[in-house]
Structure 1
Amino acid sequence: MLKSPPILCLKGKGVVMSFQQVTLFPPLKGVFVDLAKVPDPVFAEKMVGDGFAIDPLDNILHSPIDGKIKSIHRAKHAITIESNLGFDILIHVGLETVSLGGEGFRIKVKEGDIVKTGDVLSEFDIAYISERVIALITPVLVTDIEEKQLSIEILPHETIVDLNKPIMIVNCGQVTTINHAESSQSSLESDLISVPNTHGIHARPAAQLNAIARKYPNNEIVMLKGEQSGNVKSVVSLLSLSVQYQDQIKILVKGEGAQAIIDELKAALLEMHDDESENPNANPTSGEEDGKVENGKYHGVVASTGMAVAKLVQQTGVQFKYDRFAADSESELNKLESITKSLIVELETEIKALTEFDVAHKNILSAHLMILTDPELTANAKNLIMRGQSAPFAWDKATDESCKALAATGNALLIERQSDLLDVRDRVLTGLCGSENKVIQEYTENVILVAEDYTPSQVIALSDKVKGLVSVRGGVTSHVSILARTRGIPLLVGVAKEVLQENSKMVVLDTLNTAILNSCPSEQELAVANQAVSKREEELRVAQESSSLAATTSDGVQINCLANIGNINEAKIAAGNGAEGVGLFRTEFMFLESKEAPSEEMQFKEYSEINHTLGGKSFVIRTLDAGGDKKIPYITQVHEENPMLGVRGVRLCLANRELFKTQLRAILRTKAENIKVMIPMISKLSEYRAVKQIFEELKTELNITTNIQLGIMVEVPSVAFMSEAFAKEVDFMSIGTNDLTQYVMAVDREHTELAKEVDHLHPAVLSAIAATARGAHKHDTSLSVCGLMASEKLAIPVLIGLGIKNLSMTVSAIPENKAFIRTLNFVKCKEIAYHCLSLPTAIEVREYLKNQFN
């Protein structure tokens, strides 16, 4: 463990750098997650700070540095440590865990305590928390980088990080001086440089050096390692050198400005210094996940949940039919050049089309673009063509040689790049050979695939016969894992490499209850697993297949199941899951995920694209719902003692009218009658009337004659109990049960001790919903529920019984909830609902409902 931060002085020809460094260790054992891939824009967009995240595999939180406990959040989920050099580290266990109010957490320190690296900070209940929040992914952030002029560097690491291996360096007070004479030599070679990076030049540093080299198209830039050389403008060539820790290398530059280029590359190399204080001479560790194997049972890490019983088959990938030789080399060269140029344009277009929120997908495509434009790879293919080979054979062969070169390094960090190479290979070969000559592995029976790793495109192209995936490499937050979860395919990663020797045998893959691939199950184990799989598959199949059907109760009452969404991708999934429309589009993400307010054009495009996806179905857009617990960086807000009762929702919008008008204009310009505008946090009629006036003025200004409805959210008790008065004026109402519950119960959802009392099935909350329904029905005003309550199966019969016929829920819950509604009887639901109103506590309501429906 680190005892004191080192003070380094790195000297090169004309370059002197001095700085203090602090090394951080992982606070948890778990799967490393790039901050950009965290499914919460507050962290992914680095609004709080910069660093990394971990998906926990253990429930004990340790201090990553020496320092002092600066603060502990009252909900116990977040701890801030002040380092010995004065900067702050925030550890935030899970996403949206503040809503648990401290339940499931046990703090082991107090504010002001002095801690050492590795000291236990807290313990938490993984099972309890994971069932109640979006994810247990834990961001670890330096929160005052800009203020203290710090910089960070993530160290090379395995997929599953260990507590005893450094994960990040924080550089403090860095000073760089460059003072060299411009060389007039046309060719210049640097002095020997000892590579300081603990894991040598792997993918990330290679990409950094490559980016510098490509700025100088007229220069030849080569890295020399003994008798070997690698083109710095080619990531593949650079990686193939397999430059390791403390290897002696030189940089050779030909052309004008050679000295400046050498100095720039040398400085970049020195800045890549990794400090492993435990063992500075350690060899780079393997990136392979050597999971346990016990009696034929392979243990791994769950990347996508599910269960499957099928034949285990080795993944062979995509193959193409083509001739090896070609008579006209010039024609073949033209074909290759034409295809690569069109694919470059295609990739660039795809990258530009992605929003700033699609960071993971953008990184994948950017890596593919770098490979496609790799000069070494292209040159090798062209050389083969000039020797009489066909373009497809040449490209396939050149890619294969590059993969072999990476594999030969024995460095798993480099070997992982093969999946990107193979994905690009397949794109080029598809263009050269045509889809008709693309031979995809086909299966006549259900299979569980096993491979070193998978590419995203392989997962996208999987047939329905593939019931499970197993891989030696891979991570739970990779693009492959995300795609597997989207498709509902169980995926086990980090399995021992011996699994690659298994083939053509019946196995059981269980990522639902365990994290095991059973390669030699007994007959009894097979029977039990088959029964469990059949039951679950039947439930999901029936729900999904019938998801497009109306959710009509057994006595003929139709309930509309809509979706709560935050982006266009969720809209697409909602459409496929049978949503009757969108009952809540949370527009605040557009505002929270940007350093400046989204433009009218950006908003108009977003609303229009989602509306097009929905195909004319109801689309309710909630205007900016910020303030309180959602701070917008570019909106000035004064300090409030109780922000949840302060300037939030409609109050914030009316206080920032130009921002509000921009959003309303973008919505109105869609001119779509299926679109409805919903105003959050209305508490009195005067607020609605003020919004209505602005709304009508903008319609006149834009010459909008389309009947776009204007409604409100019912989140404040004053509206619930005056619903009849509101129902006379508004076009529709939607109950936001999350806020309504905390306001009815007078309990802050974020309060450490009291948050557990916030239960939307409390009879008082049910009474507020019932009162709202009575007022709405009296004036025939459309009413829905869009809070979390609408997603909870146990609550649905109560809502239906209270007269709610529009339920807006999480996207994934739609098929099963629609199927559940079809089993209900409306008259019986009314009896159940009114009985619940007579019960004294939420606990008794839940017990009663469980007895009725379990």
Structure 2
Amino acid sequence: MLALDVQHVRMDQHAVDKAQALECLVNILVEDKLVTPEYLEGLKAREQQSATYLGQGIAIPHGTPQSRQYILETGVRLAHFPQGVVWDGENKIYLAVVIAAKSDEHLQVLQILTRALIDDVSDRVKNATSAEQIIELLHAQPPSLALHENLIATQVPANDTDDLLWQATQLLKQQKLVEPGFICALDPKQMIHLGEGTWSITASEHVLSPAVSIIKPEHPIEHQGESISTLLCIASNDQLDMPQFNRLMDILFDPSQLEKLTQENDSHQIAQIIGAEIIPDWPSRSVTLANAHGLHARPATQLVNISKTFKGDIQVSADDGQLVSAKSLTKLLSLGCKRGQVLTFIAEPNTDAVAGLDDIIAAVKNGLGEEVEPIDEQELANNNTDKVEVLTFEEEESNSGIPASSGLAFGPAHVIKPREFKYERNSKNVKAETAKLEQAIAQVKENIRQFIAESKVEAIKQIFTAHLEMLDDPDLIQGVHKGLKQNLSAPAAWHEHIEAAAKAQEQLKDHLLAERAADLRDIGERVLAVLCGVPDVVEPQEPYILIMHDVGPSDVARLDKDRVAGILTAVGGASAHSAIVARALGIPAVVGAGSSVLKIESNTTVLINGDNGDFVIDPAQSLIEHAVAERERQRQIRIEAEKHCLEPAITLDKHQVEIAANIGKVNAAGKAVKDGAEAIGLLRTELVFMAHNSAPDEKTQEADYRVVLDDLAGRPLVVRTLDVGGDKPLPYLPIAEEENPFLGIRGIRLTLRKPELLRQQLVALLKASDNRPLRIMFPMIGRVEEWRAAKAILDEVRQDYPCENLEVGIMIEVPAAALLSPILAQEVDFFSIGTNDLTQYTMAIDRGHPLLSAEADGLHPSVLLLIDQTVRAAHQYGKWVGICGELAADPKAVPVLMGLGVDELSMSSTSIPLVKAQIRTLNFAECQNIAQKALQCDSATAVRQLGE
């Protein structure tokens, strides 16, 4: 970025006229090795086209596009002429900001200058005596506070305060009022309750210009025992216009105005209540700016001159930003518009400006006096990529989400926004409301039973069976009846209790369990729809991409898989039931892509990649053709891989890696073997425990483990002992609530405190093994003492239940364990690295965090260095190392992990055929070379680029 810096200012320059001043400026640029002397001709040619006088004693000379060949390095220099120089035959300039820019970088300088010129600085420019004064006045920002209708959003989907803060930040970022990092400065603990469900929160870091965004969620959000129906997010810095801000506060502290604000859901009306700038309801036209170097001074001047020929007011915004006058050069330049941005013009009704919109649009299309290359709108949408899957947008407005179900899909968007349910909150007829509720529940139950009967997919049957159990849950029904007895209507009692239960579920720190809140809301909405008489959404007849805030399991199950080409959601996680159902139906899905996907126009073509979470809006036909070819290529690769899935994974230079499966159900081992698993690398016994309504006794556990060992038919079984805790609670194993469960009592920390629980599980495992290959590992080991304590309990049990074919190891999930691996390797039989948790703890990023989880990449060099140390320590003492995290199936990670010397890769069984096929194409020596390069990289992105 070009910067206005003190060291680039030249004071006390002298010139008798503009020609001499231009020579002076070029000499400065040549002296600083930014241009060659020939650049002077470019400055002269540019001034002949139109003078570069900006206003208030400032000129911005720069060369023509043809003269860019003389630019050695992009830069900007400032020259102060205390006697002044007549610049355009009329106005005298005292400061020349001369620009040498190879492309459109100078637009950044124009934005800085035009913001400074909002106030009259002509005298200060003329009388400046130091470089510091020049820079100070150019960077000075007049007091301001953006209060605008486009900073207000209502009926926003939000489940908690994190969602609200994210949405509020998005509004500010879209208008370029804050920069990345602002959301991290917002502290929910510092929120202020203004009354009537209205709260405010303030941050001053990463603020570009003071502003207030207002968010109203579709449903009130609970916070500190109160509810949030309106959130004001205040971005403040030292340019905050305090009088204007105080006027806003006066409105908010007026009970009558605050009540209006709470009740109102129309952004236009809210803007009127708080005195914000309102978007006029005027005729509008939009056009894409095609000028190669953006809306710089010359085309902006042309636009001003055209606009001034009309008496009516004409305003313009860039990419739906704040409107400015199209008749003001300063305001136009402050937009900093670049090629490809959309300009929207509005004209004052009943004036000649309305008819003038056609002239303005035509002028912009023709380049405003410059030759322009026409813009292909579809190519523009994809001009940041040379791959099918890749586009680049800003941070949270990213074109990527969470890959939930693999495959490529494209088709017209079918956007289903959250349904609105209208009902009276209170009723005095408890008997009638009870009857309504029971009838609605019965109807939904019958529909679910039909789904179960008609479905051929076991995963769907299991999920909907669980939904039936929820509807039969006496605690759930009792809670609703309590509301009915308090004279709530059936819809109100049902919705409020379901929402409270869902929020309680979301509070669980484990993202797997928290995502089950979606199931509660799913059945809640089905019953509420019956109570309110809201019909189901009609499905299009042709294949489409389903786009929703979140797709509940019943939404997916109702869909015709031959019509639903793919699924794209604003929220959700890869382990949610909706994702499980999508995978079961073989529908490509991308979830958690952000609320912006709900703004996609219906019938707009959308291309999604369920393998990496990327999606493209309105792709070019060539991109679709590429996707079709890629999809067919992937299908053929999988077909071929599945033919050879039972064969070993051996590289071209004869290095073999064991490929195992991760399972969470005792009856999943058989399928894993059919998919090519050579072992079970991780049996998540906590999921086995969760399959029971009460704590399974020793006999029950033994029977469960025997099922797995029988299906493996002599193949090794690696079992993780019970890994529950504050973040993964069991209903029949009460654990005190912890402020940070991920750093609390979980895994081995819990079972060492409940040794009988651990002892019982170990007995069941040893009795079930019958001397078949059993590998037991302890989770969450962070200290050598924990390992030795757990091992002592196992040794005790083995005296009564000897098992010859047994290995004992630990999971490397905590960085401390990886760092202690040279000590631990002398005592354990093996290590199994859980890359999900190891990455989370190493990078201090909650892997379920809605904003940061994408940054928790297991290929980050910090994680790889820990894996490398662990492997080297294990091999030094003849021990083996496995990987049982999601990284094991990542195509980018496989060669790196192999090159680091990992002996086993354990993954979801469906990934096994493709990973085995990939390994057979690799050369182990090359993998070792890639791994060593990866250890020297500075980011996960750099590691992922090694194989490209």
Quickly name the TM-score band, shorter chain normalised.
Answer: 0.3 to 0.5
Structure richer in helix, relative to its length: 2
Greater Cα radius of gyration, structure 1 or 2: 2
Indicate the structure with greater strand content: 1
TM-score (norm 1): 0.47
Higher relative contact order (CA 8 A, sep 6+): 1
